[in-house]
Every structure is written in C-alpha cells, then in structure tokens.
Amino acid sequence: MSEMAGKFLWKSFSSVNLDDPFFNSLKNDYPEFSDWFAKKAINGEQALVFDDEEGIGAFVYLKEENEPLELANETLPAEPRLKIGTLRLAERYRGIRLGEGALGVCLWRWQDKRLPQIYVTVFEQHRELIQLFERFGFVRIGKNHRGECVYLKSRISIDYTDPYKAFPFVRPDFDKAGLLPINDFFHDQLFPYSELKGNKLEVEEEIAGNGITKVFIATPYSPMCYSPNQPVSIYRIFTGQGSKQYKSVITSYCTITKVTPVKEKHRVLLDIRDFVRCAGNKTIFSIDDLKKLHAQQANIIILELIYNGFYGKGHNVTYKELKDRNLFPAHPYQITYNRTQFIEILELGDVDVQNVIID
C-alpha cells in the first residue's frame, strides 16, 4: 500500500495557518472566507486537517443545523441536518483515497448523530468533488442563491442498489452474509483502527487517512461464497502462540463491492498487469508481492470492500462466542450467514443495529 507522508488530525481553527496556499481557492470562491475562518477560530471550533511536508493537503469542517435550506427556486423547511461546511483537497491529493476517507468520516458522523439529512454546497467547476459526492449517494436538489449546487443525502431515501451510495448503512434486504478471515498481520495493516479503543476522534483521523475502500487478495484452497453487495464480517485470525478462543475475533463489517477472479486451479484469468492494476493502492501488498502471488498461487480472487463499521477494542466478537452460538460451523470462506445470524453478530459486538440496517 502506498503511504502518504502526512496525517489527518482534528485541529482547532486557531492552530491552522490561513496563509497556507491551500486556502487560495477557497478565498477566491468565497470572498468572506477569511472572516468566516477568523470567527470559527474565536469560537474554538475544530476541523479535520491533513498536513504533510508541503503544508495542508485536505480540510473538512462539519456543522449541525436546524434551519430552512434556501434554494434558488424553493425553500426546504427547517430540519435537523449535518452540513459539510467545507471539504476541499489540495491538487496533489485529488483522485486518490484521501477524499473518500474524509467523506467517509462525514457520513459516519451523520449516522452517529442520527440526523435525517446531510448536505453540501459546491460550485459546478469542482467536478471531481461532485463525482465523489454523487458516488456516495448525494443527490443534486438545486442551486442556492450564490449559484452553488446543493447536494443532499437523506436517511429515508437511501439507494441500496450500490454499496457506495448506501454507505455507511447496510442494505436491509440481504438474504445472506459472509465471514472474511484475515491473518492478524494483514488485518492490522488494512484496518488499523479496528483495535483502537474508545477515542473516536483518533479513529476518525485514521479512517480519513486510510480510505474506506479496501482490497483483499484471497488465495483460497476451495471455492468461496462471496458476491457483490453482500455484507461480510471481518474475522481477525490470531497467529501468535496460545489459544485462539479469545484472541481470534470479528472486528468489523463491510459490504463486498466487487469480486474479481484472477487465477482458478492455476488457470490465469487476469494477467499480471491487470492484476496489479485491479489491486491498486488499496491493498497492503507491494507490486513485487503481487507478482509473487500471481506466480505461485493456484487460486487468487480480488475482493473489493467498502468499510461500513467496526466494533472497537473491548467489543470485538471472539471465536469462542461464535462457536458457542453455532456461528462458526465451517471454514470461514465457506460460512454463509442468514440475515438473523448476521444481525446476531452485530449485536454481540454492541452495534446499534437499528442505526446500521434501516428499512
């Protein structure tokens, strides 16, 4: 996985350098931006900021509202909403997972707060941002009086045909779910925040930097039971000394977005170039690692996932709990859960199911 030489942190406005060139485009789009920024600093408000050796790479500001939403042609009545007041990426970070991770944090905040709607305003020239919002289910509802497009996502009209548009929610009409086993070393690189305990801000910082699309390279001995738009539980296999009863655990839950067979019984379905391209920068493997896998493994499948949520340390569901409830009846690749069983696992992990699977 390619590493970005920076990090997301929640920072007070007063500690952010407004003279950084990053803010030039915002100052150009919004003449009042500097005054607005100064007021936020005085009020002690915070933003999610990505810094690297060149300066600011991304900036996210969220605001809760309960007021009318004024469009050019109509006014929507007051309703509790989360507004993405600012989400901007530096030119050098556009088109990669930084924006996806930052928007993922916004949507998780919205879910946690149980607000009916989330919205953002963006000028038409910012096409990449608009594509990002549309990919995650935001719908254009018009323009405001300053000519910005207004994009809104509502809990009562989630598009469940696409796991990205539905994120962070899990589609309610699934009839089967799976269990995806990952050795602890690989798990903790793909999902570094699943083991963090208690500090939600720290978890959000990690998520924003790592993105919410994950690519897992599976090398199964036998066929697997995964299909697109299927929820899966992520099972962290403890490989150290001692019993796995309490140390092998389900840490999180995802939705499969894509299944790409690469090799089947030594038969090559995807050549090395296409394999490397499909794996992209969201896998933990280097190009050399991928080449070795392609040369040596009899069966290879690329599973692309969107990361719906995690339990957090102290809430992970142990192998023993699963076994005691007959939820570990076979090798993980062969396990298929029905809807009731998948919900049972979420509840074992102290997840508020009504806020994850909403009808």
pTM (whole model) above 0.85? yes
3-state secondary structure the chain: CCCCCEEEEEEEHHHCCCCCHHHHHHHHHCCCHHHHHHHHHHCCCEEEEEEECCEEEEEEEEEEEEEEEECCCCEEEEEEEEEEEEEEECHHHCCCHHHHHHHHHHHHHHHHHCCCEEEEEECCCCHHHHHHHHHCCCEEEEECCCCCEEEEEEHHHCCCCCHHHHCCCCCCCCCCEEEEEEEHHHHHHHCCCCCCCCCHHHHHHHHHHHCCEEEEEECCCCCCCCCCCCEEEEEEECCCCCCCCCCCEEEEEEEEEEEEEEEECCEECCCHHHHHHHHCCCCCCCHHHHHHHHHHCCCEEEEEEEEEEECCCCCCEEHHHHHHCCCCCCCHHHCEECHHHHHHHHHHCCCCHHHCCCC
Q: Is residue 164 part of a domain?
A: no
Same domain as 222, residue 185: yes
| Percent of the chain topping pLDDT 70 | 93
Q: Is residue 163 part of a domain?
A: no
**Segments forming the whole domain that contains residue 308:** 177-355
Indicate if the pLDDT at residue 18 is higher than 70: yes
Same domain as 93, residue 50: yes
pLDDT in tens, 120-156: 999 999 898 999 999 999 999 999 999 999 999 999 9
Q: Is residue 170 part of a domain?
A: no
pLDDT in tens, 200-212: 666 676 766 677 8
Q: Is residue 151 part of a domain?
A: yes
Lowest mean pLDDT among 101-115, 200-214, 314-328: 200-214
What is the arithmetic mean of pLDDT over 12-28? 95
Same domain as 145, residue 190: no
Indicate if the pLDDT at residue 235 is higher than 80: yes
What is the arithmetic mean of pLDDT over 14-22? 95
Same domain as 44, residue 111: yes
Quote the pLDDT of residue 338: 96
Quote the pLDDT of residue 192: 73
Q: Is residue 167 part of a domain?
A: no
Indicate if the pLDDT at residue 164 is higher than 70: yes
Q: Is residue 201 part of a domain?
A: yes
Q: Is residue 329 part of a domain?
A: yes
Quote the pLDDT of residue 26: 93
Number of domains in the chain: 2
pLDDT in tens, 268-311: 999 999 999 988 767 788 899 999 999 999 999 999 999 999 88
Same domain as 336, residue 194: yes
